[in-house]
Structure 1
Amino acid sequence: MLNLSAILESSAGRYPQKPAFTFNDTVFTYEQINGEANRIANGLRHTGIQPGDKVALSCPNHPYFPIIYFGILKAGAVVVPVNILLKRDEIAYQLRDSDAKAFCCFVGSPELPMGQYGWDAFNQTPGCAHFFMIMPLIAMPSPIEGADTIAALVAGQPPLFDSVQTTAEDTAAIIYTSGTTGQPKGAELTHANLLLNTMLAVDILELQPKDTQLVAMPLFHIFAMTVQMNAGIYRGIHSVLVPRFDAAVAVSLMLRHKISVFVGVPTMFWGLLHYPIEADQLAALAGGLRRCACGGASLPVQVLQDFEARFNASILEGYGMSEGAPIVTFNYFEFGRKHGSIGIPATGISVKVVDEQGNALPAGEKGELWYRGHNVMKGYYGKPAETAAAVTDGWMHSGDIAVMDEDGFYYIVDRLKDLIIRGGKNVYPREVEEVMMKHAAVSLVAVVGVPCEKMGEEIKAFVVLKPDAVATAEEIIAWTKEEIAVFKYPRYVEVVTSLPTTASGKILKKDLRHA
C-alpha cells in the first residue's frame, strides 16, 4: 500500500514545529500543514468524495495549494491541478475530460478573476458536483452568490484523519500537457511515479533539512510540484512561496530568508542574471546559494556560464516531461556536469535516441529521445489511442530531438515540432540561438520557422538586447552569418523588449510564429 501523502505525515511527525511554508509574513509549520490537510480530507469525505474520484485544484503559490493537494490525496482521491491562467472554456474542458467531481478554485483578483472563470466553468460541467472558492483569508466570504468556500468545506472538521491506503499503481494526479498539438491530454501519474521521482529530486539536489528554498515556479506545474513542493516536504526543508516570479522580489526574499536552494526555468535565471544588485548583497547571495537547478526548457550555455560566474553557484540542468513525473535525466555533482547537457539518465530510468523506425542510434547521431522506467505515466486519461501512439513497449516517446555523446551524456537538440526545414535542410533553432547568444549586444533570443514560398520555411529570430546595448537587425544578421553555416543564419531578425512566456516561464514559440 502506498499513498504519497505519507511524505507530509512523516515530516509532520519528525519536524512538527519546523517552518514548512512561508507566504508573505505568515509561517506555516509542518504540523499545521498536515492538520489542515486532514481537515480538507475530512471535508471531502463528508461531501461524498470517494477514493478514486477526481478533484480539480486551481491555486497560485499559496499554502492552500499543498494543504488541499495533500488533503485530496489523503482522502484517496486524485488531484487534477489546473493552470491558473486558463479561461472558463479551457477550465471546463479539463473538468469534463478528467471527470472531476469537485473543484477547489482560488478567488483571484480583478486582473485575474480565477474564481469567476472557475465558477463559470463549473456551471458548464454537469458532472462536477461541488465547487469551493479558496479565499486569501479563511474567514472571508465568497464574492459569488451560491459558491461555497473552503471554510465551509472544513467547518467543524477535526485535524486528524486516517489516510486512505491506496496502492502504488493507483492514480495520484492527472497532469494536463500544454496542448501544443491539439487539445491538452491528462497524464495519469501514480503514487509510485510521484514518490520515486520525489526521491530522485532529493538525491540529485542533495537536499538537507537545514535548506531553505524559494518556490517561484507555479506549483500546478509538474516540475515545481515534484522537484520543489514534494521534494521539500519529503526532506523537511523550509519553502518560501512566491505567487509570481519577479527578479526584484526574488532577490529580496533570497536575502531575507537566506535562500540556499533555487530551482527555476531559463527565463528566471536570465532575470536574476540581469537584475542590478549591490555588491554587498550579491556577496551575501553568492555565499548562501548552495544548490541551483534548471529545467522546463534548455538553458542557453552563455546564460548558465554568466550566472555561475556572478552568483558563484553551480546550476544542475535536467530534463523531464509531465508524462515522466517529470525527471528523466539530470546532471549530478557526483558524476560531473557538462554545460549544455541535460545529463545522464536518472536512477532507475533508461534512455535511448532512436530513428524514425524506433531503432536505437549510436553516440553522435540525432534522433528522438525515448525513455522508460518507474517515472513513465500510467497513460493519458480516457485516451487509449493517444497512449498507444506515445508509448511503445514501455518506452515513452518524448517528441524531442536529442543526441548522446561518447560519455553517455544527453543533449536536447530541439523539439520535433520546432524543427525548421529550410530548402530541404534541417535547422535546429537551439543551435542558432546558442550562436546568437554570443553576440555582445544580445541578452535573449528565440528562433522560429516562418512560412516561405521559395524555401518552405525561413528562419526568423526574435532578439532582446542587453540593457543600454545598441544593435540593428541588419547588424545581428550579418554577424550571425559569419558565425554559422550559410543555410542556418536567420534571414529575419526582430528586436523586441520581451518574449512571451507561459505561466511556468517557458518561451511561447507558437505565439512568435504568428507574430
Structure 2
Amino acid sequence: MLNLSVLLEDSARRYPDRDALVLGNTRIGYGELDARANRVANLLIARGIAPGDTVAMSIPNVPEFVIVYYGILKAGAVVVPLNIMLKGHEIAYHLQDSGARVFFCSEGGPDLPIGEYGRAGFAAAPKCRDMFVVGGLDGADSLDTALGEVSDVRSSVVRDPQDTAVILYTSGTTGKPKGACLSHSNMVTNALTANRLFDSSPMCTDTYLVTLPLFHSFGQTVTMNAGLSVGATLVLLPRFDALTALTLMIEEDVTVFAGVPTMYWALLDAVDETVDVQRIAATMRRAISGGAALPVEILTRFSERFGVRILEGYGLSETSPLALFSDPERDPRPGSIGVPVWGVEARLVDADWNTVTEVDTVGELALRGHNVMSGYLGRPDATAEAMRDGWLRTGDLARMDADGFYYIVDRAKDLIVRGGFNVYPREIEEVLITHEAVSLATVVGVPHEVYGEEVGAFVILEAGAQITEEELISWCRDRMAGYKYPRSIEIVTTLPTTATGKILKRELVATVRTSTVSTGTVSTSRGSSDVG
C-alpha cells in the first residue's frame, strides 16, 4: 500500500520545524505544511470526494500549490495539475476530459487572470461540482472561507501502488491534449531516483530554487517531490526572472537549481558586475537541465562562469518524467542526455519497433521501467500506438555512442526533410550559437514549393552585436553542407515560449505558412513573448 503524500508526511514527522517553503517573507515549516494539507484533505472528504476521484488545480508556484497538491493526495484522490496559461474553453476541456469533481484555481492578477479563466471553464464543465478560489476575496468560492474550522488532523487514505496518483496532460501539439496516468509507484520511485542521482539526503539540508512550473512534470518531480522527500527548503519563484533568480541564489544560499535551457541562457545574459558569481558558485552544488536539448555552448559557458557543471537529463510527462540522466561518476559528455536511470531501460527503434543496433545510428528513443505511465486516460487507441510490451515510444530521435550514452538528435516532428535529405534543427542550432554575435538560435522547417521544406532560423543577438542576416547565412554556408544551411535567418529580440520555457517552434512556423517561399527566402513577424 502506498500514497505519494508519504514524501511530505515523513519529512514533517522528522523535521517539523525545518523550513519547507519560502516565498518572499513567508516561510512555512514542514509541520505547518503537512497540517495545511490535512485541512484540504478533510475539506474534500467532507464534500464527498472518494478515493480515485479526480481533482483539478490551476495554481502557480506559491505555497498553495504544494498544500492543495498534497491535500488531494491525502484524501485518496487523483491530482490533475493544469497549465496556468490555459483560457476558459481549454480549462473546460481538461475538467471534462479528466472527469474532475472539484477544481482549485488561483485568482491570479491583471497580467494573468487565472481566476477569470477558471470560472469560465468551471461554468462550462457541469460535472465538476465545486470550485475553490485561492488568493481571492472572501466569498462563497474562496478556499480560505471553505476551510473555516476544518480540522488539520487526519491520516492519508491508503492507496495501491499502481493506483493513479497524478494525471499530467501533454501539450497537445499534434491534437487535443491527452492525460498521462501516473501511479503512486511511478511518482514516488521517480522522486527517489532523482535524489539518488543528485546525492540528496536529509543530511544535505539542501535549498532548491523552484522556478520551473510545478504543474509540469519536471518541476513537480525533480524539485517539489524530490526536494520535500529529503526535507529540503524550496524557495519559490512564481515567474522566472533571471536577475531575481540570481539574487535569490545569493540571499537563500541555494544549493540546487533545475531549469530549462532558455533559463540558463537568461542567467548568463543577466550576469553583470553587480552579481556576486563567486558567492553563487560557493553554495551551488547541483545544476540540472531538462525539458529540451541544452546547447553545448551554453553548457560550456555556464560551467566557466559559475564553476558548476550542468547535469543534463531527459524525460517526458509519460515517464514521471525522469528517464535518462548524466552520470555524475563518469566524465561529462557535452551534448549527451546521459544514460538510463536506475530501473529504466532504453533502446532505439525504427517505425516498426525493430531495435536499431548500430552505434551512432539515429532511431526513435523508446523507454521501459518503473517510470512509465499506465496509459492515456480514456484513450486506448493512443495508448496502444505509443506503447508495446511495456515500452513507450517517445517521439524523440536519438543516437547512442559506443559507451551507451544517448544524444537527442531532434524531435521526430521537428525533423526537416529538404529535397529528400534529413536535416536535424538541433545540429544547425549548435553551429549558429557558436557565432560570437549570436546569443540564442532556433531552427524550423519552412514550407517550400520545390524542396517540400526549407531550413529557416530565428536568432537573438548578443547585446551590442552588429551583423546582418545575409552575413549570417553566408557564415553558415561556409560551415555546413549545402542541404543543411539556413536559406533564411531572421534576427529577433524575443522568441515565443511555453510556460515551461520551451521555444514554441510551431508558432514560428505559423508566421511563414502564408509566405511565398519558392525563392528560398521568407518574411516573418517577430516573436511575441519574452524568453523564460
TM-score range, shorter chain: over 0.9
Residue number among 446, 449, 455 corresponding to 1:453 in the alignment: 449
Report whether the alignment pairs 1:348 with 2:343: yes
Residue-by-residue CA offset, 1:351-409 (whole Å, 9 max, x unaligned):
00111211111221101000001111011001111101110111000000000000000
**1:341, 1:392 → 2: CA distance?**
26
Say if 2:105 is the partner of 1:105: yes
Residue 121 of structure 1 is matched in structure 2 by: 121
Comparing 356-365 and 489-498, the one that deviates more? 356-365
Task: Specify the code of the residue in structure 1 equivalent to 2:334.
Answer: H
Offset of residue 261 of structure 1: 0.7
- Provide the residue aligned with 1:2 in structure 2: 2
Contact 1:170 1:191 in 2 (8 A): yes
- Paired with 1:357 and 1:87, the residues of 2 have a C-alpha distance of 38
Q: Does 1:141 align with 2:141?
A: no
Deviation at 1:111, TM superposition (A): 1.7
1:24 counterpart letter in structure 2 = G
CA-atom RMSD in angstroms: 1.0
Q: Which amino acid aligns with 1:284?
A: R
Give matches, 1:217-366, under 5 Å: 217-278=212-273, 281-362=276-357, 363-366=359-362
* In 2: Cα distance, 1:212 partner to 1:155 partner: 32
Structure 1 residue 162, shift from structure 2 partner: 1.2
1:129-168 matched pairs, under 5 angstroms: 129-135=129-135, 140-142=137-139, 147-168=140-161
- Equivalence for 2:47: 47
Superposition deviation, residue 490 in structure 1: 0.1
- Counterpart of 2:169? 176
Separation of aligned partners in 2, 1:30 and 1:303:
36
Q: 2:381 — aligned with what?
A: 385
1:493 corresponds in structure 2 to 489
- Runs of 4+ in structure 1 over 6 Å off: none
2:506 paired with 1:510: yes
Q: Which residue is 2:11 aligned to?
A: 11
* 1:200 alignment counterpart: 193
Output one character per residue of 1:447-505: Cα deviation in whole Å (capped at 9) or x when no partner.
00010001100000000001111111001101011111111000000000011110000
Report what 1:21 is aligned to: 21
Separation (CA, whole Å) in 1 of partners of 2:332 and 2:150: 50
Q: For 1:282 and 1:37, locate their aligned partners in 2 and report how far apart those are by CA, in whole Å.
A: 37
* Corresponding letter in the other structure for 2:142: T
Structure 1 window deviating more from structure 2 (357-366 vs 167-176): it is 357-366
Cα distance between partner residues in 1 of 2:441 and 2:50: 49
C-alpha deviations, 1:268-291, integer Å up to 9, x for none?
A: 000001113327711111212110
Q: Aligned partners of 1:271, 1:470: CA distance in 2, in Å?
A: 20
- 1:371 is matched with 367
Q: Measure, in 2, the Cα distance between the counterparts of 1:60 and 1:280.
A: 27
The code of the aligned residue for 1:461 comes to A
Note if contact 1:134-1:150 (Cα within 8 Å) is conserved in structure 2. Answer: yes
* Conserved? CA contact 1:40–1:153, under 8 Å: no
Distance 1:54 1:14 in 2: 30
- Classify the secondary structure of the residue corresponding to 2:345: strand
Amino acid at match of 2:467: A
| Offset of residue 211 of structure 1 | 1.1
Structure 2 residue runs of 5 or longer lacking an equivalent are: 512-532
Kindly indicate whether the alpha-carbon contact (under 8 Å) linking 2:208 and 2:233 is maintained by their aligned counterparts in 1: yes
User: Mapping of 1:33-72 within 5 angstroms?
Assistant: 33-72=33-72
* Cα distance in 1 for residues equivalent to 2:509 and 2:290: 23
Greater shift, 332-341 or 402-411, is seen at 332-341
Q: For residue 40 of structure 2, what is the amino acid of its counterpart? A: I
Q: Secondary structure at the match of 1:148?
A: coil
Contact 1:51 1:164 in 2 (8 A): yes
Deviations 1:158-206 (A, max 9, x none): 1111110001000001000000100000000000000000011111111
Q: CA separation in 1, counterparts of 2:162 and 2:406? A: 29
- What secondary structure sits across from 1:169 in the alignment? coil
CA contact (8 A) 1:44 1:153 kept: no
2:415: which partner in 1? 419
Paired residue type of 1:429 = P
Q: For the residues of structure 1 that align with 2:145 and 2:41, how far apart are their CA atoms?
A: 13
**Pairing partner for 1:437 from 427, 433, 436:** 433
The 1-side partners of 2:272 and 2:253 are apart by 16
SS in 1 for 2:101: strand
Letter in 1 for 2:466: V
Match of 1:191 in 2: 184
Determine the C-alpha separation between the residues in 2 that align with 1:57 and 1:336: 41
Deviation at 1:333, TM superposition (A): 0.8
Task: After TM superposition, give the deviation of residue 106 of structure 1 in Å.
Answer: 0.2
Percent identical: 51
Is 1:404 aligned to 2:400, yes or no? yes
The within-5 A match list for 1:66-81 is 66-81=66-81
CA contact under 8 A between 2:40 and 2:72: conserved in structure 1? Answer: yes
- SS state at 1:385 partner: helix
1:484 matched to which residue of 2? 480
What secondary structure does 1:464 align onto?
Answer: strand
Q: TM-score, normalised by structure 1?
A: 0.97
Structure 1 counterpart SS, 2:215: coil
> Deviations along 1:69-98, whole A, 9 cap, x unmatched?
000000000000000000000000000000
- C-alpha separation in 2, matches of 1:275 and 1:253: 14
- The SS at the match of 1:498 is coil
Q: 1:112 to 1:307 in 2, by over 3 A?
A: same
What is the rounded CA distance, in whole Å, between the counterparts of 2:163 and 2:380 in structure 1?
Answer: 17
Report the 3-state secondary structure (helix = DSSP H, G, I; strand = E; otherwise coil) of the residue aligned with 2:270.
coil
Give the letter for the 2:306 counterpart.
Answer: F
Asked whether the equivalents of residues 246 and 275 of structure 2 are also in contact (C-alpha less than 8 Å), the reply is no
**What is the distance in 2 between the residues matched to 1:217 and 1:397?**
25
SS at match of 2:485: coil
